[in-house]
Every structure is written in structure tokens, then in C-alpha cells.
Structure 1
Amino acid sequence: MPLNPQTRTMLDAFAGGSMMDGLKAIVAARSEGREPPSMMPPIPAEPVAAIDDRLIDGAAGSIAARFYTPAGPGPFPVTVYFHGGGFVTGDLDMYDATCSRIANRAGSVVVSVDYRLAPETRFPGAADDAMAALRWIHANAARFAGDARRIAVAGDSAGGNLAAVAAQQARAAGIALRHQLLIYPVLDFGADTPSIREYGPKAYLLSDEMMRWFCDQYLPDPGCILDPRASPLRAPDLRNLPAATIVTAEYDPLRDEGEAYADRLLRAGVPTTLRRWDGQVHGFAALFGMLDDAQAAIDFASAELRKFFVA
């Protein structure tokens, strides 16, 4: 179907700026010890019972995490959320709106993890932080009214990659997860799919040029593309992974790898729901206040989480 009219209006409004210039300015500011510019103003959180910032275990020391607790007595299921941003940008504030909405609609404590970013920390730093955070949350769930028997991993874009990697590593570690929610995830840094070839040059919020740059910032050498911790679609065995919900967008270069992962999960016997959002672009689910589909996508994702939390 054609681009969603709200999305077309948004893209027209952004047409005067360069996403690549903005990304490079963020990295340059961090390298110089300056406050990095924001690509987009943060959207405030919905009211929840509590929002708390804490330090939890990362792979190389403590990292920040933000805990969103819904109303009610608990113990609550737990959603471990990894933000997007190409492994290079993104922070806790940018995902207040997303995480608070999931907390309210899924009835879950949401733990948003501030993993280390590239290029200061290259692969596998972010993946290692994601797994270290999951281990800490699993071991300490009772400390924040969480239920260690009902944990899901979730994320969008680069965060969807980290959620998929954490789900694969949790299987090996013996940590039982209820669900994995992957929103337009990066799943294969070496992918050459029809959606990349068709939509990469059009730069609907994500271009093939940007993906190459993210890859160069995150991966220390091209050989890392073959590592399932970078490209979880390349994992040889997907059996016995947690049930999955995968959201893709019609006009997203990453669409086909997300849908290929859904197909592989299904063939491996993993219960999987795939939802392609027609007329939408990469990043749409975070654009509250601009796109009605953002709210619809988070409502859908939260309902999927809730379904598996109560099963």
C-alpha cells in the first residue's frame, strides 16, 4: 500500500536535514566530552506507579537501567527492553514513552537497559551487556517486585538485535524466557535482501548508507558479520527459543530479514507471530505524537506480551 499519509507528512518535514550528519555529530560530541545533540526531542512517559533509575550489572561494570512499575500489588512479569539507535545512539530518556506504555498495557515491570554504545565500545560489548543485564534481572527480580519465572526480552532496531541475541544466549544459560518481542530488528549485518535493495536508497528514516555506517561503528572487522551474536539470523539452530512476536514495516530496508527470522523460528517449532505494518517505515513505533500507528504498534506488542505472561 502507499506510504501512510501521516508518515509522508513526517518524512517531508524531515527532508531538509541529513540523518547521517546528525549521527556523526552525536558521535563527535561524545568523543569531545560534550553533551550530544538530540536527533529528536524525548517524548514524556505515561504515568506509571513508579519510575526508578538504578545501576545493574553490565559485562564490564555497572550500567544504568530504568525500571517502570505498573499499578498493582505484584509480583509482576518483567520485560527487559533494549533501545534502538544503530548501536551508536539512543538512551533511556528517548524510550520513556515506549517503556511506560508497555508497562501499563502489558502489566509488566519494564527494565530499560542503557547498554554501552559504539564506537567507544565495539562488538560484542552491547551484546555482552544485554546478557549480563538479563542475568542480573533474572537473579534479582524479587528486589523490584518482579517474577523471575515470567521474563521477556524486547527491543526495536538495534535493540531488537540485542533481544534476539539475549534470547539465544538465555537458552544456552538455562534462563527460561516467556517471550521475545522484536520490533523491526537488525538480524543480519551481511543481508542483501529485496527490501534493502528497494528501500535502502530511499532513506525512509533508515538508509543503506546509514546501515553501512552503523556496521562500521559497531563491528571491529567484517568477519564479525558471521557471528550469531552480531547477526542472530545466522545462528545454526533456533529450536527451543522462546515464543516470538516480530513487527516489521513495509517500507523498511530491514523488513525481509525480520520476516526471514520469523520463518526460520516457525520452521524450528517456535510459536511466532509476525505482523507487517503496511505503509510504515523503520522507526515508526517510537514516533508517538506524530504517527497513530506508533500507539497501535505498542498496543499490539503489549497485548502479545500480556498473552504470554498469563499463559
Structure 2
Amino acid sequence: MPLDPLAKRLLTMMAAASSADRKRPTPDERRQALAKLMQFARADVTDVMRADAMLRGPAGNIGYRLYAPPSPQHSAPAPGFVFFHGGGMVAGSIETHDRIAAALAQASGCRLVSVDYRLAPEHKFPAAVEDAIAATQFVLANAASLGVDPARLVVGGDSAGATLAAVVCQHALQNAWPDIAAQCLICPVLDFEETSPSREEFAENHLIDRVTLQADLTDYLPKDADLADPRISPLRALHVAGLPPAIIHTAEYDPMRDEGNAYARKLLAAGVTVEHICHEGMIHNFHAMGAVLPQARLVLSQIGEQIRRAVG
């Protein structure tokens, strides 16, 4: 299918506003650019309560924001959703992804915990992974006080946040944690060991380009990092049988399309239940641009329905 006309218009506007001589962005430039982009997120979620708090992580306190959709008074614990924001492990925060987290909480009916994990280059790999694991353990251990049913916990994220979600689920399986009800991976980044055809085809002028991806990777990883390490490239995990049921959303014009599609196939082949949709005509991060892309509103509602089914 051709590139969606509204997505194409957005990309054209972004290209016109950027420098013709594309240089490696600094971490601050990357953070400012993502914050500006996330202003296109839908802003019509009004009935979700928010509360900020801290949890103890491996290197100090980790901020998180708890989102609580309306529920009947004296109701049973709600399903939970541990959410990790995108941003290439360099950018993003609970603030940039506030609207997305609220929309997912509303659509899914989950009490959602959005995690402000450590970012690179100040905190290189595996800092973000360690924080993601610690935050999920915290939610499981403190489910009652969070109003969450630990037997109905979803772990998910978008873009690089989906990387962390996939890694947490793999870690949980390897370490015999209580079962996670589902994993939700939105436009996931899952493989840095090999360059896929979609990474080549959409390396320029498709929202996130080759220069930015390489800058993020350089900022995130130590020089001696093994790109085949499943904590960096979850697609490279050898054993995936027994992982939680997966909800995976990819986009046709996303450089990371092929790795997300490949992970869906890999999980299916291992006997994992998978609901996978590759959205025609869409670009990376399209789900977060509901102010300009109608499909973004639809996909968040769709994900909410999928999660409701997954957690009963």
C-alpha cells in the first residue's frame, strides 16, 4: 500500500524543517526533537487519574507515574500494565509519553505504571534493562498497594520501550517469575546484529533515520557490547517457547518493520500465542501522533481491546 497521505505530509513538513546536511544529533537535540514530536499525541483523554511516585532501583530511585482509569467503588484489583516509553534509550520520559500512557490505560482498563528508567549516555547499557526488570519486580511485589492484580499483568512499551518489554519477559521466563499475562510491543526495536531490508529501504526520510539510530546505539552501548546479546537484540534470543502471549504492532514504512514481523513469526513458531498487525501505509511511532493521524487513535483503541481480552 502507498504511504498514507497524512503521514507523507507530516514527513514532508519534517524534512522541510530539518537541515539538508544531516549530522549526528547530540543527546539534548535528540531529546528536544522527541519531545516536540510527542506533542502530536492525542490530548482527549481526560478521565484517567495520575499519581507520581518513586521505586527503589539498582542504582537509586526510579520515578514512575501510575495511571488509574475510572472503576467502580470497592471494585476488585484491576489488571496492571508496566509501560516503558520509547526514545532510543537516549530520549523520552514519563512526561513525553504521558498522553500515550493515559490513552492506553483508558483503552485497556489497566492501572498502568509508566517507568522513568535511566537514559544514555549518562547511564549506558545495561542500566535501562536493570531498571526495567526492577520496576516490573516492584509492581509484582507491591501489586496490592498499587491496586493491581498480579495475575493479570501486562508488560509493554513502544519503540525502544518495546525492546525493554521484550527483554523483561525473556528475563522473567529464564528466572521462573510468576507468569506475565501478556507482552505488548508497539513498533518494537528488536535487532541490531543484522541490517534488515526495511532498515535499508526506509533509512532516510521516514521519521527515524539511519543517523539517529546509529547515534542512539553509540550513546547507549559500551564499546565492547555484543550486538547479538538478547538484552540488546531480543530477536536473537535462542529460547522463546513459554514467553507470554504477545500483542505486536508494526508499521509498513517503519525501518524496524522487519524485525518486529520476524519476532512475531519466531514466537508463533515456538508455540506462543501472537496477535500481530502490520499497519499498512504507516510509519514508525504513528500510534503516538493521534492529533494528525486518525489511525493512531484507532490503533490505541485496538490495543486496548486486545489487552482486555488477554487479561480477561
- TM-score, normalised on structure 1? 0.92
Match of 1:26 in 2: 28
Residue 165 of structure 2 aligns to which amino acid in structure 1?
A
2:37 to 31, 36, 40: 40
Is 1:188 equivalent to 2:188 in the alignment?
no
Alignment of structure 1 residues 241-256 onto 2, 5 Å: 241-256=243-258
Match of 1:109 in 2: 111
Match of 2:217 in 1: 215
Q: Compare 79-88 and 182-191 and name the one that shifted more.
A: 182-191
Q: Compare 5-14 and 243-252 and name the one that shifted more.
A: 5-14
- Alpha-carbon distance between aligned partners in 2 of 1:138 and 1:152, rounded to the nearest angstrom: 11
Q: Compare 255-264 and 91-100 and name the one that shifted more.
A: 91-100
- Alpha-carbon distance between aligned partners in 1 of 2:191 and 2:103, rounded to the nearest angstrom: 29
Q: Please tell me whether the aligned partners of residues 191 and 257 of structure 1 are also in contact (alpha carbons under 8 angstroms).
A: no
Alignment of structure 1 residues 233-244 onto 2, 5 Å: 233-244=235-246
Provide Cα deviations, 1:129-166, integer angstroms capped at 9, x if missing partner: 00000000000011121111110111111001000001
Provide Cα deviations, 1:31-81, integer angstroms capped at 9, x if missing partner: xxxx99943364547123420001012221111101000111341000111
What's the C-alpha RMSD, in Å, of the aligned pairs? 2.0
Structure 1 unaligned spans of 5+ = 30-34
Residue 83 of structure 1 aligns to which amino acid in structure 2?
H
Q: Please tell me whether the aligned partners of residues 38 and 289 of structure 2 are also in contact (alpha carbons under 8 angstroms).
A: no
Tell me: higher relative CO, structure 1 or 2? Use CA pairs within 8 A at least 6 residues apart. Answer: 2
SS in 2 for 1:77: strand
CA gap of 1:69–1:23, structure 2 versus 1, over 3 A, is: farther
- Alpha-carbon distance between aligned partners in 2 of 1:28 and 1:214, rounded to the nearest angstrom: 9
Q: CA deviation at 1:265?
A: 0.3
1:176 to 172, 176, 179: 179
Q: Please tell me whether the aligned partners of residues 26 and 37 of structure 1 are also in contact (alpha carbons under 8 angstroms).
A: no
Q: CA deviation at 1:25?
A: 5.9
- Alpha-carbon distance between aligned partners in 2 of 1:129 and 1:17, rounded to the nearest angstrom: 35
- Alpha-carbon distance between aligned partners in 1 of 2:25 and 2:88, rounded to the nearest angstrom: 10
CA gap of 1:118–1:27, structure 2 versus 1, over 3 A, is: farther
Match of 1:206 in 2: 208
% identical aligned pairs: 38
Residue 17 of structure 1 aligns to which amino acid in structure 2?
A
Match of 1:32 in 2: none
Residue 194 of structure 1 aligns to which amino acid in structure 2?
P
Q: Compare 92-101 and 280-289 and name the one that shifted more.
A: 92-101
Q: Please tell me whether the aligned partners of residues 27 and 88 of structure 1 are also in contact (alpha carbons under 8 angstroms).
A: no
CA gap of 1:192–1:296, structure 2 versus 1, over 3 A, is: same
